[in-house]
Structure 1
Amino acid sequence: MDSESRIRAAIEEHWRASERGDIEAEHAVYAVDAILDYPQSGERFRGREAIAAQRGGHPADRHFTVQRITGHANVWVSECVITYDGVPSYSVSVMEFTGRHVAHETQYFAGPFDPPAWRAALAEPMPGRTVTGT
């Protein structure tokens, strides 16, 4: 298996493990000294143990749906919908690999919103989605 196939498989397993709540498997993708940044809150988590502890302590019922994984060489992006107690949050995860492990991840979160009526005639629903709020 080539390097990019190994990385893609590791990312896919990360998200599957996240969905099943397998904290050990979920965090196996991270280097021991990995960094995780959440730009919206300004938080940085340093080290695999800190990353796992903050996710493992999350009080919400969480589910993970991967929309797309794309990348090349050492930089990979996952687009996901993460639901927290049934409320969706759209997430983009940018993972930077050193060898087989994530050295740095930046994760962005955004809530859903209703589209403005003025552009309704220009838009169509994304596959699997409906356009609301018009």
Structure 2
Amino acid sequence: MTSSTDPRTTNLRETVESFWAAAEDRNWTAFADTLAEDVVYTLPQTRERVSGRERYVEFNREYPGDWHLRIERIVAEPGQVVTWLHFTVGLDEMYGISFFTGDAEGRVLTITDFWPEPYEPPVGREHLVERY
């Protein structure tokens, strides 16, 4: 078991926090500084992949709409970090889950994003659940 003070955990967690702060601020220079040169971004739901720092920064810079994000939760361990985000684009709200790995310098090496769509639960379990 690795200590919560393991520098690999702390460094990547701090990098990911900086990554999201820079994205929210549209500070693309600071955002790029969090990334490894050969970063790979994957979106399994759309089967898209973006390779390389320059392309990934541009992918985010060109994302349409007035979007904003806030971190709901971060889970970190050596070499990987998971974030749960609340994301808005205009009036639309959604949640995303992002998995990060880091390189030896503590920069983001891979990101895999999941953007699940909300849906209505199946009928028949109303007696067991509380809707919020």
**Pairwise TM-score range, normalised by the shorter structure:** 0.7 to 0.9
Which residue does the alignment assign to 2:107? 101
2:46 is equivalent to residue 41 of structure 1: yes
Query: Following the alignment from structure 1 to structure 2, what is the Cα–Cα distance between the partners of residues 15 and 24?
Result: 13
The CA deviation string for residues 70-126 of structure 1, in whole angstroms up to 9 with x for no partner, is: 02111111111111122112111110111211111111111233344533332246x
Post-superposition shift, 1:63?
A: 0.7
Deviations 1:6-41 (A, max 9, x none): 221111111112212212222322101111001111
Tell me which amino acid in the other structure corresponds to 1:84.
V
User: Which TM-score applies when normalising by structure 1?
Assistant: 0.84
Quickly say closer, same or farther: Cα 1:28–1:120, change in 2 above 3 A: farther
Aligned counterpart, 2:128: 122
| Stretches of structure 2 lacking an aligned partner (at least 5 in a row) | none
- The equivalent position to 1:51 in structure 2, one of 56, 75, 80, is 56
2-structure distance, mates of 1:96, 1:47? 15
Alpha carbon RMSD of aligned pairs, Å?
1.7
Task: Measure the CA separation in 2 of the matches of 1:3 and 1:75.
Answer: 9
1:5 aligned partner? 10
Q: 1:21 to 1:121 in 2, by over 3 A?
A: farther
Residue 50 of structure 1: how far off its partner (Å): 0.4
Unaligned runs of 5+ in 1: 126-130
Equivalenced residue count is: 126
Which of 71, 80, 86 is matched with 2:85 structurally? Answer: 80
Return the alpha-carbon distance in structure 2 between the equivalents of residues 27 and 121 of structure 1. Answer: 49
3-state DSSP of counterpart to 1:114: coil
Does 1:68 pair with 2:73?
A: yes
